Chains A and B, each alone.
Chain A
Amino acid sequence: MNPRRSMFLRMLLRSALVRPGRALTALAALAVAATVATAMLNLYTDAGAKLEREFRNYGANLVVIGSEGGELPEDALPRAERALGGRGMAVPFSYAIARTSDGSPVVVAGTDMARVRALNRWWSVTAWPSASGDALMGARAAQLLAPGGQPFDLLFQGRTLRVKPVGTLRTGSAEDSRIYLSMADFQAWTEAGISTIEVRAAGAPAEVEAAAQQLSAALPQAQVRPVRQILEAEAQVLGKTRSTILAAVAVILVTAALCVLATLTASVFDRRKDLAVMKALGASERLTNGFFLAEAAALGTAGAVIGFGLGVGAAAWIGRVNFHAPISPRLDVFPAVLAGSILLAVLSALIPISLLRHVQPAAILKGD
């Protein structure tokens, strides 16, 4: 190996080994900053997706209905599901106005219980029906039609259906006045098709828009309508929350960076004697600068690697604590953290070097 280069490497190594305390302090500062940066960047990129999942619980953001109030084609549901391609959920609904035995009208709905349970998590249901002939009663309908929970008759176009209330449903809106049956029971009784498909398309507004277009293309005879109440409110709240997180993350990153800058600058400044000795022994300015900068770069790299590992752990912990789902580590954050870390370390070496450039080695060595 080139003797000059080996001397350079030895100096680097010895400077780290002879005074491990000093090197460790600098490394610790860098690693902590890199940890904070990694955790914050991971959190920022993932928090939006995590929050979006919470908003998904608000229910359908698209509604598919037949044009001019007509029914949807028989195979509408599988077609809608194909159009969504797994990026969402579709729940069919059919409605009919039936009469009770005393002649008062009531809305009866047929739906897929398992799907509606997954889509509308806010439905407060005492027991979900499972057998044929079981009915889920809206709270107000239950109170008026079957206060004791006894089976009763429903009439639709001369056909009678005997239903057994098994559970009550409470939502605080129109559902409370309805009776829900399984789609099979409902269609066998009324011979009606699907009147509405409620769709929860996953993703950002642009993706929901794309899903709506795909649904329109798959079901040309139907109307696909966005539920603006859900879409707009979600965009509003999510956007503002994101901005707040961004502001907080920026503030934290700047603080961490300034902290590292102060610590490292002081630690390089403290070594002005080493610099003076090197200069007194005849080292060129290029060599001394190269030495300190290489040292800074090495520290920056080590700090970034350690900090990235710790930061991913911290982000995962935050994900579990707050969202009950780990935040998946993002490797694309690493180059940014590495570059930032090296840049900071080099910058904090450059400041003292340029301050000391014009000072005579003798003056430093004398202790002034």
Chain B
Amino acid sequence: MFIRLVYESFRRQRRRKFLAGAAVALGAAVATAMIAVATDIGDKVNRELRSYGANLVVYPQEDTLDVEAGGINLKPASEGAYLREADLPKIKGIFWRHNVVAFAPMLPLQAEVASAGGTEKVEILGTYFSKELTLGKERFTSSIRELHPWWKVAGAWPADDSGQVLVRTELAARLKLKPGDEFRIAGRAVRVAGLLDPGDSKTEAVVVPLALAQEIAERPGAMRRVLVGALTKPEDAFARRDPAGMSPAERDAWYCSPYANSIAFQLREAIPHSQAEQIRQVAQNEGAVLTRIEGLMLLLTLAALVASALAVSAAMTTAMLQRRREVGLMKALGAGNPAIAAVFLAESAILALAGGGIGLLAGMAMARQIGKSIFGSAIGFDPVLLPLVLGLAVLVTFAGSAAAIRRALRFDPVIVLRGDA
């Protein structure tokens, strides 16, 4: 009898059930989309923040002071310590290797450049433009281009195994160079691939492949420092603690959190004789920005949940109140309050599950669309959302119909059936 009542109710009141189900589906879709976007926004914005460049730097332990100001470097190339280029792939072997999104070796030096336009002693930087590296079976690229997305190049980017270089626009104007021209660095013939506008005054005048810089400096296999761009977690009090003074359990927790400090610690472990540090201008501020954006999205999600809960419960309340007569009739036929409530709650549960399921799918599609159109990459689906959203849908639907059922049960069947309520 119970099942038949519920079944017939769905069969005969299709339009009404459809409307209520649509309300639940809408609410569930909004909740799903917002939760999915809010949980993923941290990762998405973190990746966007990488356009500020590296947030970690690795340099030799025993290094002498850099003597560099306003783009002029007075540190003799022979002085100071170096890291080994061969150690570079080990960066991709650290615990948080998947958080390292870009890195590039740097070898600055001075040399004389000569062209038809003149001769000048300038700063030169050796690096990887886009180099394939392997560690074990893993393949990845190390590239200054990914690390410094604000660099603008007129012409082409050089290849790493070539004698091609980038020349800063200012120097190119002085030496009368344009892409395709040949000139000499410390006596070696090179070709201009493109003109570089780095948008600052610190970057070196000529950027060359690392191998060429090593040859000029007569330092085979050497690099001065490595810049690393990694996805990190905003720094808190725990992140700032010194791992040396921690208990083993705390140390594990610290090591396994992607703080800038713990990634720096792991880089130090991975590369022999090195010192790694966060670049505070980038690392400190991205934490603040990330916290604010995540907080904002959390509050927006809360607002969306409230709005969709209200929408669902309002729809359920209205649907219930329109069925006062049914309640009156059941009561007149002798049904007890619990039995009537059970029928209506069962109907609500079916509506919640069906509407919630459809809403979940629609919400996932919505989140995916938002991710694609704004961040250019889809927003991942967290399986936890399935029970969460369905549970919320049932809860809200119940809450919305329970109040209305209570009200409907309080009416005198005689009055309701006469049509005066």
Q: How far apart sit A140 and B322, CA to CA, in the bound complex (Å)?
A: 77
> Among B27, B64, B279, which residue has its beta carbon within 8 angstroms of that of A171?
B279
Q: Is the CB of A36 within 8 A of B52?
A: no
The answer to whether B69 has its CB under 8 Å from any CB of chain A is: yes
The answer to whether B288 has its CB under 8 Å from any CB of chain A is: yes
With A251-B304, A255-B311 already in contact, the answer to whether A58 and B48 are too (CB < 8 A) is no
Q: Is the CB of B308 within 8 A of A255?
A: yes
Q: How far apart sit A367 and B324, CA to CA, in the bound complex (Å)?
A: 13
With A172-B280, A252-B30, A318-B299 already in contact, the answer to whether A367 and B311 are too (CB < 8 A) is no
Most chain A CB atoms below 10 A, which of B198, B201, B293, B306: B293
Q: Is the CB of A244 within 8 A of B30?
A: no
Given the complex, which residues of B lie within 8 Å of A310, measured CB to CB?
A: none
- Closest chain A CB from B408 CB (angstroms): 14
- Closest chain B CB from A107 CB (angstroms): 5
The answer to whether B118 has its CB under 8 Å from any CB of chain A is: no
Q: Is the CB of B65 within 8 A of A140?
A: yes
Given the complex, which residues of A lie within 8 Å of B72, measured CB to CB?
A: 69
> Among B64, B285, B307, B370, which residue has its beta carbon within 8 angstroms of that of A104?
B64
CB-nearest residue of chain B to A367 = B419
Q: Is the CB of A172 within 8 A of B277?
A: yes
Given the complex, which residues of A lie within 8 Å of B375, measured CB to CB?
A: 240
Q: Is the CB of B150 within 8 A of A229?
A: yes
Given the complex, which residues of A lie within 8 Å of B297, measured CB to CB?
A: 244-245, 248
Q: Is the CB of B64 within 8 A of A144?
A: yes
Q: Is the CB of A106 within 8 A of B51?
A: no
Most chain A CB atoms below 10 A, which of B284, B307, B308, B321: B307
Q: Is the CB of A248 within 8 A of B300?
A: yes
Q: How far apart sit A120 and B267, CA to CA, in the bound complex (Å)?
A: 26
Q: Is the CB of B52 within 8 A of A107?
A: no
Given the complex, which residues of B lie within 8 Å of A178, measured CB to CB?
A: 69
> Among A65, A123, A258, which residue has its beta carbon within 8 angstroms of that of B311?
A258
> Among A122, A170, A227, A244, which residue has its beta carbon within 8 angstroms of that of B374?
A244
The answer to whether A297 has its CB under 8 Å from any CB of chain B is: no
> Among A195, A248, A256, A322, which residue has its beta carbon within 8 angstroms of that of B70?
A195
- Closest chain B CB from A180 CB (angstroms): 12
CB-nearest residue of chain B to A243 = B374
Q: Is the CB of A40 within 8 A of B303?
A: yes
Q: Is the CB of A174 within 8 A of B51?
A: no
What 1/0 mask marks residues of chain B from 74 to 86 whose CB sits below 8 Å from any chain A CB?
1100000000000
Q: How far apart sit A88 and B279, CA to CA, in the bound complex (Å)?
A: 24
> Among B49, B63, B201, B278, which residue has its beta carbon within 8 angstroms of that of A233?
B49
Q: Is the CB of B314 within 8 A of A36?
A: no
Q: How far apart sit A124 and B283, CA to CA, in the bound complex (Å)?
A: 12
Q: Is the CB of B318 within 8 A of A237?
A: no
Q: Is the CB of B296 within 8 A of A245?
A: yes
Do most interface residues of chain A lie in helix, strand or loop, or is the interface mixed?
Answer: helix
Q: Is the CB of B45 within 8 A of A240?
A: yes
Given the complex, which residues of B lie within 8 Å of A12, measured CB to CB?
A: none
Q: Is the CB of A95 within 8 A of B69?
A: yes
Q: How far apart sit A161 and B284, CA to CA, in the bound complex (Å)?
A: 34
What 1/0 mask marks residues of chain B from 56 to 67 whose CB sits below 8 Å from any chain A CB?
110000011111
Tally of chain A residues near chain B (CB < 8 A): 76
Q: How far apart sit A241 and B300, CA to CA, in the bound complex (Å)?
A: 13
Given the complex, which residues of A lie within 8 Å of B45, measured CB to CB?
A: 237, 240-241
Given the complex, which residues of B lie within 8 Å of A270, measured CB to CB?
A: 321-322
CB-nearest residue of chain B to A140 = B65
Q: Is the CB of A323 within 8 A of B200?
A: no
CB-nearest residue of chain B to A37 = B307
Binds A, one of B33-41, B214-222, B247-255: B33-41
What 1/0 mask marks residues of chain A from 84 to 115 whose CB sits below 8 Å from any chain B CB?
00000000000101000000111101000000
Q: How far apart sit A288 and B45, CA to CA, in the bound complex (Å)?
A: 55
CB-nearest residue of chain A to B301 = A248
With A247-B370, A322-B299 already in contact, the answer to whether A171 and B281 are too (CB < 8 A) is yes
What 1/0 mask marks residues of chain A from 311 to 332 whose CB sits below 8 Å from any chain B CB?
0000000100111000000000
The answer to whether A141 has its CB under 8 Å from any CB of chain B is: yes
Q: How far apart sit A171 and B307, CA to CA, in the bound complex (Å)?
A: 45
The answer to whether B23 has its CB under 8 Å from any CB of chain A is: yes
Q: Is the CB of A259 within 8 A of B310?
A: yes
The answer to whether B68 has its CB under 8 Å from any CB of chain A is: yes
The answer to whether A275 has its CB under 8 Å from any CB of chain B is: no
- Closest chain B CB from A60 CB (angstroms): 10
Q: How far apart sit A55 and B281, CA to CA, in the bound complex (Å)?
A: 11
**Can you spell out 9 A-B residue pairs with CB atoms less than 8 angstroms apart?**
A57-B285, A95-B70, A107-B65, A121-B285, A122-B284, A244-B370, A251-B30, A263-B318, A321-B295
Apart from A177-B66, A267-B318: 12 A-B pairs, beta carbons within 8 A: A40-B303, A57-B285, A69-B70, A106-B65, A107-B67, A122-B281, A170-B280, A245-B297, A252-B34, A255-B26, A256-B310, A262-B315
- Residues of B at the A interface (CB closer than 8 Å) are 19, 23, 26-27, 30, 33-34, 37, 41, 44-45, 48-49, 51-53, 56-57, 63-70, 72, 74-75, 148-150, 152, 198-202, 277-285, 288-289, 292-293, 295-297, 299-301, 303-304, 306-308, 310-311, 314-315, 318, 321-322, 366, 370, 373-375, 419
